[in-house]
Amino acid sequence: MDRPALRRTAIRRLLLLAAAIGGAFTTAFLLLPHDPGEIARLAEVLPLPLLAGAAILTWSVLTPAMVSGTLLAAATGIVLGGPAGMPVALAGAMLGSVVAFMIARRFGRVSADALCGPRLERLKARVEHRPVLSVALIRIAPGSPAAVLNYGAGLTRIRLREFLMGSVLGGAPRVLAYTALGGAIAEGLVWPVIAGFAAIGLGSAAVALVVRRRGAGGALAAA
């Protein structure tokens, strides 16, 4: 098959993958409850162990569907409470990230490689040179789309364990913080909410300072 035909095939496969992800997101948006009170009432239906298992399963399905991890973490805190919800949210977030990573690796990487030009290959090489740091920095950077990162990392040559290490290092503080915030909001506590937002802001500012001083911004920008 000639190169133009290969490119057309690669584009079609990536478009199909994007359509499947978009369809999953739309389905989740239409079917999931939008009222925090309705989410909180789930805690009255199931015992804690089943709630924890259901939460982890929900993360593993909704993270590949591009549902915001911030919303999932807050919902986990609302349903399970902060202390019980934090380890559950962290486990669910990492499992969901791995599922999305593997979907992209299985169904998109070959097609993405076929479409990469020299410039994009250089950018990928910069990320792959320091994979754990690159993933961690993107995870913790303010406003970074973690759901997109999961798929983007799967299209590179980053190994799964490197992706998981970077995800834990960079993503755990935010997941735990937003889960704690969800639990505090559900309990009507004001000061923990304020302290949580302050901690997230200070952490993001500290990471930005480290990135600038150590010159790690190149890997972040490349990613």
Q: Do the Cβ atoms of 153 and 64 come closer than 8 Å?
A: no
Question: Long-range contacts made by residues 33-37, C-beta under 8 angstroms, separation at least 24?
Answer: 36/75, 36/78, 36/185, 36/186
The reported pLDDT for the residue numbered 65 is: 92
Please give the Cα distance from 102 to 108 (Å, whole number). 9
pLDDT, tens only, 207-221: 556 555 554 444 444
pTM: 0.81
Which residue type, as a one-letter code, is found at position 76? Answer: T
Q: Which residues of 57-69 are buried (b: 16+ CB within 10 A; e: fewer)?
A: ebbbebbbbbbeb
Per-chain mean pLDDT for the chain: 80
140-152: average pLDDT? 80
Which residue type, as a one-letter code, is found at position 58? Answer: T
pLDDT, tens only, 34-61: 676 777 776 777 778 888 999 999 999 9
pLDDT, tens only, 71-105: 999 999 988 888 889 999 999 999 999 999 999 99
What is the percentage of the chain residues whose pLDDT exceeds 90?
22
Annotated domain spans of the chain:
3-222
The reported pLDDT for the residue numbered 218 is: 47
